[in-house]
Amino acid sequence: TTGLEIDPETLKMLDTDGDGHIKVNEVTAAIEWLKKVLKSLQPLTAKSAVMPLSDIRDDTDEGKKLLNSARQILSNLKLADKNEITIGETSDSVKIFADTKYNGDGVITEASTDSDDLKKIIATIIANIGKATDRSGADGVTKELIEEFYTEAADFTTWKNLSVNDTNLIPYGDSTTATRDAYYAIKDKVADYFIRCKLAAMDADATSALEISKESLAKISEKNLTDAIADIEAYPLARINAKAELPLNEPVNPAWEGKFKALKSLILDVDFAGKQTITESEWNTIGAKFGAYDKWLADKKGVKVEGVDFAYLTDVVANSKKDELLALVEKDNAEKDNAESIQEVNKLVHYYRDMFGFLRNYVTFTDFYYQYKTGDKAIFQAGTLYIDQRSCDLCIRVADMGKHTASAAQSAMFIAYCDCENKKLGKKLQIAAVVTDGDVDNITVGKNGVFYDRDGNDYEATVTKIIENPISIRQAFWSPYKKFAKFIEEQVEKFAASKDAEITSKGTAAISEKTTEITTKPAEGAPAAPPAEAKQPFDIAKYCGIFAAIGMALGLIGAAIVSVVTGFLGLPWWGMILAVLAIVLLISGPSMLLAYLKLRRRNLAPVLNANGWAVNAHAFVNITFGATLTKLAKFPFVKGRDPLADKKYPWWKKVLWVVLIVGIIGFALYCNGKLERFGLKPIPALDFRDKSQTEAPAAVPTQTETPAE
């Protein structure tokens, strides 16, 4: 149901089980349903997006229901006077249900009630619990959200009331939370201070080690001390004393000064007013007060509604409107059948427009095979690829390149896979373009083209993979010659490249040798270098043998050519024609036969099967039909020409060369007596035949014995 040129909504409606494939039973069920609700299926052939209400049956229950729903839609849209309905009108559910209180989706909004209290509760639920989107497009709540809200509200109020009824839970009243935060912010540092004091009490000499050392201060003194707060935090909270008492009004570690002041104002000045110091046991009494409070916090419930005003929340729980809200939900659900019937009208209008076209591509490939007449492309044709002076209309979207190529290779078609990109729209896609006409010598991996989708959007296309197969018998005829020419060209290029490399190598070696001789020339008076090894003298006998062998080979080749030419000239005129045809057939025949066999079985079904279709029949594309799927372009008469291009050889010179060659061949045949059968006997001066073969042997007289008398 993806990658097809048909409304996806229609395909989704046909795919009743939602598995991504439309099966036969789903299509037949849709047709049977249409028979029940439409007076005739004939109007479907028009493929119109506008459906007259008069086409809906009023003699069946299904038809009556849809007719009433269609009129309800028009009424909701304030179009009650219309006698026809369109897809645009049935598809916009937000507009259809915009002014309705209940629309059968189980979602109620503030518009579903006239009560201000209920509206406020609905708004509170949306803000704190969650929301659901109504068919009208507005935010609303469902039965589940209402139930959750009242559960959360009851749990939170019960938990909160524990602190109201038991003052021990909140030892510092409304400031208990802030007080607790201040206590825990410095708790560990105070504990560290008391431990240091205990160690100092054990050994007075250890006091200096437990306080701030001069070395530590010297280490950070050269820094900006605001950047050394992390180091300062590690120092003791206050001066160590053997009494293990925390001074309340003396200087403290500057890194902890802010937190200590908060602790002092919220707790120490309240619990120990007027005292200058406190002991560890006195400090621990503060922590004991927060034990019950911490347990109460850990048991907190209903956190989703914690932000709601507690007095309002208490009132909501005490004077519950839950039943009224659930009653509204039930009223909305009561309209479910009517709402679904309205959705059925939308399905009907989609089928009214698309079903006939769908069947022409599902049951038969009518749109595909008759597009050259009707202009209607098949739904699997994604657009047109323009590449190498041609347009390819048979382009199919590809979801999985690897899977597609494995199956499409059985189609016997020439397929060019392309990556397409529209940078303006930010869209990318892959297509398989089937080439069915023209030469394909220039269609190679990396070739660029332009792809236009069915909506007219253009994409930059690049060939990424090719499945090669014959396109025409004409192409197959020339294929062996092109391959041979390409082979010769490659061999010549290889030979030229090797010779170029050899010459370059020898030249480089010679230059290097001369350079070495110059740089290593001995100085005057230096001992002479030993003479170089003498070169071997030129062996003429050796090369004479080589030349003789080459000459013999060329002679044999020439003799063979002469023998073939002589044998060819010895044939009658019709034999010569047959010989030429036989040679051509011997070279091109296998290629043409193979192309003919492949073109006969060129089949679209494997290409579609590769995209997930289950095509149960062949979808052959013969040569004639294939030519309509790929259109070749011709340059306009006034196209620009290169003024410096090589001049074309004049046609009259070509004719002259043909006449000259034919004349030479004819003259040779005439001089050899090959045209005598046509009454063209060569004159003696131009008769090049062997005289011993052409002159009749002289008559030998016979002696007649004279009978004896």
Tens-digit pLDDT profile for residues 594-616: 766 677 778 888 888 888 888 77
580-610 in b/e form (b: 16+ CB < 10 A) is eeeeeeeebeebbeebeebbeebbbbbbbbb
What SS3 class is residue 533? coil
Of the listed ranges 397-411, 496-510, 620-634, the least confidently predicted one is 496-510
Residue 705 pLDDT: 46
pTM: 0.62
pLDDT confidence of 38, banded at 50, 70, 90?
very high
Residue of 278, 285, 243 whose CA lies nearest to 260: 278
How far apart CA 603 and CA 619 sit, in angstroms, is 5
- 92 and 44 belong to one structural domain: yes
- 177 and 281 belong to one structural domain: yes
pLDDT at 19 over 80: yes
Segment 135-141 mean pLDDT: 89
pLDDT confidence of 709, banded at 50, 70, 90?
very low
Residue 426 pLDDT: 92
**Is 293 in contact with 171 (CB distance < 8 Å)?**
yes
- 92 and 132 belong to one structural domain: no
Most confident of 54-58, 222-226, 672-676: 54-58
Asked, for residue 515, whether it belongs to a domain, the answer is no
- 156 and 97 belong to one structural domain: no
How far apart CA 609 and CA 21 sit, in angstroms, is 13
Asked, for residue 66, whether it belongs to a domain, the answer is yes
- 236 and 95 belong to one structural domain: no
For residue 429, what are the β-bridge partners? 420
- 181 and 270 belong to one structural domain: yes
pLDDT confidence of 706, banded at 50, 70, 90?
very low
Give the C-alpha distances (Å, rounded to integers) separating 302 from 2, 45, 154, 213: 46, 61, 8, 52
Residue 199 pLDDT: 87
- 314 and 357 belong to one structural domain: no
Q: Which long-range contacts (CB under 8 A, 24 or more apart) does 47-52 make?
A: 47/353, 47/354, 47/356, 47/357, 48/352, 48/353, 49/86, 49/87, 49/88, 49/349, 49/353, 50/84, 50/85, 50/86, 51/84, 51/85, 51/86, 51/348, 51/349, 51/352, 51/353, 52/83, 52/84
pLDDT confidence of 429, banded at 50, 70, 90?
very high
> What number of CA atoms fall less than 13 Å from residue 549's CA on the CB side?
6
Q: Which residue has the higher pLDDT, 580 or 319?
A: 319
Residue 573 pLDDT: 64
Token readout for 400 is: 């999985």
- 386 and 452 belong to one structural domain: yes
**Is 125 in contact with 307 (CB distance < 8 Å)?**
no
Token readout for 230 is: 């992390």
**Is 452 in contact with 382 (CB distance < 8 Å)?**
no
Asked, for residue 286, whether it belongs to a domain, the answer is yes
pLDDT at 704 over 50: no
Q: What is the pLDDT of residues 630-680, one digit of tens each?
A: 888 776 655 556 565 666 667 788 788 888 887 887 777 677 676 676 667
- 18 and 128 belong to one structural domain: no
For residue 418, what are the β-bridge partners? 431, 463
pLDDT at 454 over 70: yes
How far apart CA 24 and CA 237 sit, in angstroms, is 83
**Is 237 in contact with 210 (CB distance < 8 Å)?**
no
Using only C-alpha atoms, the chain has a radius of gyration, in whole angstroms, of 51
What SS3 class is residue 414? strand
Residue of 455, 355, 358, 348 whose CA lies nearest to 89: 348
pLDDT confidence of 558, banded at 50, 70, 90?
low
pLDDT confidence of 518, banded at 50, 70, 90?
low
Q: Which residue has the higher pLDDT, 489 or 450?
A: 450
Residue 699 pLDDT: 46
Segment 99-103 mean pLDDT: 82
How far apart CA 602 and CA 625 sit, in angstroms, is 11
First-to-last alpha carbon distance for the chain, in angstroms, is: 123
Token readout for 43 is: 């109007």
Q: What is the pLDDT of residues 291-333, one digit of tens each?
A: 888 888 888 899 999 999 999 999 999 899 999 999 999 998 9
pLDDT at 145 over 90: yes
Residue 638 pLDDT: 53
pLDDT confidence of 48, banded at 50, 70, 90?
very high
Give the C-alpha distances (Å, rounded to integers) separating 114 from 90, 100, 117, 120, 328: 29, 13, 9, 11, 11
Q: State the residue range of the domain holding 114.
A: 110-166+307-333
DSSP letter (8 states) at residue 245 = E
- 66 and 26 belong to one structural domain: yes
Token readout for 548 is: 């003789």
Residue of 211, 214, 288 whose CA lies nearest to 242: 211
pLDDT confidence of 703, banded at 50, 70, 90?
very low
**Is 86 in contact with 96 (CB distance < 8 Å)?**
no
How far apart CA 349 and CA 53 sit, in angstroms, is 10
Q: Can you list the alpha helix ranges (DSSP code H) found in 222-279?
A: 229-233, 257-263, 269-271
**Is 631 in contact with 403 (CB distance < 8 Å)?**
no
- 383 and 277 belong to one structural domain: no
**Is 118 in contact with 271 (CB distance < 8 Å)?**
no
pLDDT at 567 over 70: no
pLDDT at 691 over 70: no
**Is 488 in contact with 416 (CB distance < 8 Å)?**
no
Q: What is the pLDDT of residues 176-212, one digit of tens each?
A: 889 989 999 999 999 998 988 888 888 777 777 788 8
Asked, for residue 487, whether it belongs to a domain, the answer is no
Asked, for residue 89, whether it belongs to a domain, the answer is yes
For residue 433, what are the β-bridge partners? 395, 416
List phi, psi (to 5°) of 656.
Answer: -60, -40
Token readout for 617 is: 């029949």
**Is 302 in contact with 155 (CB distance < 8 Å)?**
yes
Q: Give the contacts of 500 (CB within 8 A, at least 6 positions apart).
A: none
Domain boundary among the residues 345, 363, 381 is at 363
Domain count, the chain: 5
Give the other-Cβ count within 10 Å of 225's Cβ: 14
pLDDT at 694 over 60: no
Asked, for residue 562, whether it belongs to a domain, the answer is no
List phi, psi (to 5°) of 156.
Answer: -70, -45
Asked, for residue 553, whether it belongs to a domain, the answer is no
Asked, for residue 540, whether it belongs to a domain, the answer is no
How far apart CA 334 and CA 600 sit, in angstroms, is 62
Residue of 332, 340, 337, 331 whose CA lies nearest to 93: 340
Q: What is the pLDDT of residues 159-177, one digit of tens each?
A: 988 887 777 788 888 888 8
**Is 201 in contact with 241 (CB distance < 8 Å)?**
no
- 294 and 193 belong to one structural domain: yes
Residue 147 pLDDT: 94
Residue 66 pLDDT: 92
**Is 428 in contact with 619 (CB distance < 8 Å)?**
no
